[in-house]
Amino acid sequence: MSEYQFNFKPFAEMTEADYAEVGFRSGLEIHQQLLTEKKLFCRCPAGRYSDKYDAEILRHMRPTLSELGEYDGTALMEFKTKKEIIYRINRETVCTYEMDDTPPFMMDEAALDIALGIAMLTNLNLVDELHIARKQYLDGSIPTGFQRTTIVGVNGWIPYKDRRIGIVQLGLEEDACREVSDVGHRRTYLTDRLGMPLIETVTAPDMRTPQEVADVAQICRRLVRSTGNVRTGIGAAREDVNVSVRGGTRVEIKGVPRIPRIPLLTYCEAMRQWNLLRLREELRGRGITPETFKAETEDVTRLLQKTSYLPVRDALDAGLAANCVVLRGFHDLLNWQTQTNTRFSREISDRVRVVACLTKLPNIVHSDSSSETISSSEWLAVRKAVKATMDDTLVVVWGGREDAKTGAQEIAIRAREATIGIPSETRQALRDGTNGFERILPGPDRMYPDTDLPPIKVTEERLESIRRRVPVPIWTRESWYKELGVPADVVEPLAASRLAGLFDVLVKDWNVSPVAASVALVQFRKRLKKKGLDVRPLDEGALRPIFALFRDHKISREGVLAFMEKTARGEALPPLGEIRPASETEVYAQVAASSAALRSLKIHNPDRKVHVLMGLVMSALRGRVEGASIVERVRAAAEEKC
């Protein structure tokens, strides 16, 4: 029996045992922008985004031998694409450093402090001397072709379930450009994001199910946010997820924008790899191996000149060429399922799209296809021209003469790779949860020392001062909150909140009830936000005096909410010295007055009556009394006036 017997079930039906069966393993590379004023190696402002630009720079890609005398896979691929790269430059956000016309400035100190703090939180061994390196980036997203990067710590861990997830390393590096468009042979970038400080946290491939990958990503996200020193919002945190299955290859899915999308994406990638391994088995069964693989290409432009299939007809009418690649012995294999609703033909079409830049789809047709493409008599003519039998599969690609040639070569290359297994490549996350080819994985030798910058000593004093400011890790907080009886839905948001420190003071030093404090810090803010109020003014400084009134029994929990709302609305609080709880007489008078108001409302349901009267009294007394202490009196009043 084949070791690839297992068949992937629909996403919702896959169990932990199923993932164990296919040997699912996954790790994360989390890129997180740091909240600094400046970029990492120049003094341009960070985080100022705009689509406006003052100038454009045009660049062409050229492959050069690496320091080790080899061509990098990505470099070769990018060269084949013959792309023109355009950089848009805004004078406010970019200087000559980013364009490689000025040497780097010293590293931004604030960025380094933040990175060291986060490295401490993830239990990493910190380096005592930072060495700046250049990491090759040949996809065009960095004009210089390299990114400056440095490793801050190695070999850490975070707790998860009953085990530890390894943190391989944490790097501090520069962000790349934002892509604007990529059409045909032209790709355009905005440069405002370029050079902003970013940390890259690399986990070990310790996650065993797609859900675990999302869980760990979520923990890491909340952990860094708990420092208050990272950027939030669209694009501020980006995940690369790597996935492998037993007998497979580590494949990276790049730039996953939202954590909830991770489970389906990793499931689809595991399925793709598994099905590619099954495809290899099938090919072996047919006697097709890397050694026996055969493919030939013929120009079929003349044969298809009169086709009624419009995508080809239009192209040939415009003077483009069509090539046919015959894949010997591949009959029906382009229909081999790879992902949900995705077949092997997509792997080929993706390559043609990215490498030959034939971006207009469809860019291939093939003889395994059940849908209407070129006519059967045309297929017959093509089949004759390339001397194909019914065991073979034909793939037709069209485009400019050079692109059609590159396309045909890529078709043969990708088909041959199916006899080897799973190509090493990076893939991009697609909206439907599947993924598509992005580029060939760069070689491992992408790093070399940067001679522009001296090493940076990390002193014990510096570490000590950072250590004092680093928050208690979220997992430590969460278990303490649970012991205190903090409501379950408040535990996680509070642990990652910047107000977690205030909670400590309230509970430990002021003896405020943990439930009251946590609910106010998390739920009340949420409620005010829902009302459309800006809760940013509700920082520690604003909240302290309000909680002091609560601690001294001058206001109730409702009073805390009322005063928080006033602050959020930008209204002044009454002079704090004059605030006192409502007296017995005041409460008595207010219940009487509100009962009179209630009668005019004509409410018949008795329960509803109590509720409304309570609301009237509480809002009139503005939180100067605990609702629980007057509920009996209100109930009596409501019933008495029936």
Shortest distance in whole angstroms from residue 82 CB to Zn ion? 30
Shortest distance in whole angstroms from residue 162 CB to Zn ion? 47
Toward Zn ion, which CB reaches closer, 11 or 105?
A: 105
Shortest distance in whole angstroms from residue 53 CB to Zn ion? 15
Of the candidates 566, 601, 587, the one whose C-alpha atom is nearest the C-alpha of residue 632 is 587
Shortest distance in whole angstroms from residue 147 CB to Zn ion? 14
Shortest distance in whole angstroms from residue 97 CB to Zn ion? 4
What is the Cα 90 distance to its own chain's centre?
A: 26
**């609301």: which residue's tokens?**
615
89 is an interface residue for Zn ion by CB under 5 A: no
CA dihedral 18, 21, 22, 23 (to 10 degrees): 110
Toward Zn ion, which CB reaches closer, 40 or 517?
A: 40
515 is an interface residue for Zn ion by CB under 5 A: no
Q: Are strands 84-89 and 186-190 parallel, antiparallel or unpaired?
A: parallel
85 is an interface residue for Zn ion by CB under 5 A: no
Length of the chain: 642
Toward Zn ion, which CB reaches closer, 40 or 276?
A: 40
Binding-residue total with Zn ion (CB under 5 A): 4
Q: What is the spatial distance between Cα 358 and Cα 351, in angstroms, rounded to a whole number? A: 9
Q: What is the spatial distance between Cα 441 and Cα 423, in angstroms, rounded to a whole number? A: 9
Toward Zn ion, which CB reaches closer, 194 or 396?
A: 194
Binding-residue pattern over the window 28 to 67 for Zn ion, x denoting contact by CB under 5 A: --------------x-x-----------------------
Shortest distance in whole angstroms from residue 143 CB to Zn ion? 12
Which whole-number Å values give the CA distances from 255 to 195, 262, 473, in the listed order?
17, 11, 26
386 is an interface residue for Zn ion by CB under 5 A: no
Residue type present at position 582: A
Shortest distance in whole angstroms from residue 39 CB to Zn ion? 6
- The DSSP letter of residue 485 is T
Binding-residue pattern over the window 474 to 503 for Zn ion, x denoting contact by CB under 5 A: ------------------------------
Which residues from 327-346 bind Zn ion, rule CB under 5 A? none
Toward Zn ion, which CB reaches closer, 94 or 617?
A: 94
Shortest distance in whole angstroms from residue 59 CB to Zn ion? 18
Cβ-proximal residues to 391 (8 Å cutoff; 6+ apart), any chain: 328, 329, 331
Q: Which range binds Zn ion by CB under 5 A, 87-95, 163-171, 452-460, 594-602?
A: 87-95
State the DSSP string of 3-33. Answer: TT---PPPGGG--HHHHHHTT-EEEEEEEEE
User: What does the block give as tokens for 13?
Assistant: 């039906």
Of the candidates 404, 397, 395, 380, the one whose C-alpha atom is nearest the C-alpha of residue 326 is 395
Which residues from 137-166 bind Zn ion, rule CB under 5 A? none
Shortest distance in whole angstroms from residue 91 CB to Zn ion? 10
Query: How deeply is 84 buried, as exposed, middle or buried, from its count of CB atoms within 10 A (0-12, 13-18, 19+)?
Result: middle
Of the candidates 342, 310, 563, 630, the one whose C-alpha atom is nearest the C-alpha of residue 613 is 630
Residue type present at position 530: K
Binding-residue pattern over the window 418 to 437 for Zn ion, x denoting contact by CB under 5 A: --------------------
Exactly one of 11, 59, 66, 95 binds Zn ion (CB under 5 A); which one?
95
Toward Zn ion, which CB reaches closer, 92 or 607?
A: 92
Q: What is the 3-state secondary structure (H, E, C) of 286-316?
A: CCCCCCCCCEEEEECHHHHCCCCCHHHHHHH
Q: Which range binds Zn ion by CB under 5 A, 90-98, 296-304, 395-403, 559-567?
A: 90-98
Toward Zn ion, which CB reaches closer, 429 or 453?
A: 453
Peptide bond between residue 362 and the one before it cis (omega within 30 degrees of 0): yes
Reduced to 3 states, what is the DSSP secondary structure of residue 511? coil
Toward Zn ion, which CB reaches closer, 97 or 524?
A: 97
Shortest distance in whole angstroms from residue 41 CB to Zn ion? 8
Q: Which range binds Zn ion by CB under 5 A, 88-96, 159-167, 267-275, 315-323?
A: 88-96
Query: Is the alpha carbon torsion for 306, 311, 314, 318 positive or negative?
Result: negative
Toward Zn ion, which CB reaches closer, 147 or 369?
A: 147
Which residues from 236-255 bind Zn ion, rule CB under 5 A? none
Exactly one of 97, 274, 293, 336 binds Zn ion (CB under 5 A); which one?
97
Toward Zn ion, which CB reaches closer, 22 or 172?
A: 172
Of the candidates 192, 201, 195, the one whose C-alpha atom is nearest the C-alpha of residue 237 is 201
Helix (H) or strand (E) holding 327: strand 321-327
190 is an interface residue for Zn ion by CB under 5 A: no
Toward Zn ion, which CB reaches closer, 40 or 506?
A: 40
Q: Which range binds Zn ion by CB under 5 A, 97-105, 431-439, 446-454, 493-501?
A: 97-105
Shortest distance in whole angstroms from residue 57 CB to Zn ion? 14
Q: Are strands 425-429 and 251-256 parallel, antiparallel or unpaired?
A: parallel
413 is an interface residue for Zn ion by CB under 5 A: no
86 is an interface residue for Zn ion by CB under 5 A: no
What is the Cα 40 distance to its own chain's centre?
A: 22
Shortest distance in whole angstroms from residue 195 CB to Zn ion? 6
Cβ-proximal residues to 139 (8 Å cutoff; 6+ apart), any chain: 74, 78, 439
Shortest distance in whole angstroms from residue 444 CB to Zn ion? 30
Shortest distance in whole angstroms from residue 174 CB to Zn ion? 10
What is the Cα 353 distance to its own chain's centre?
A: 25
Toward Zn ion, which CB reaches closer, 39 or 343?
A: 39
Binding interface with Zn ion (CB under 5 A): 42, 44, 95, 97
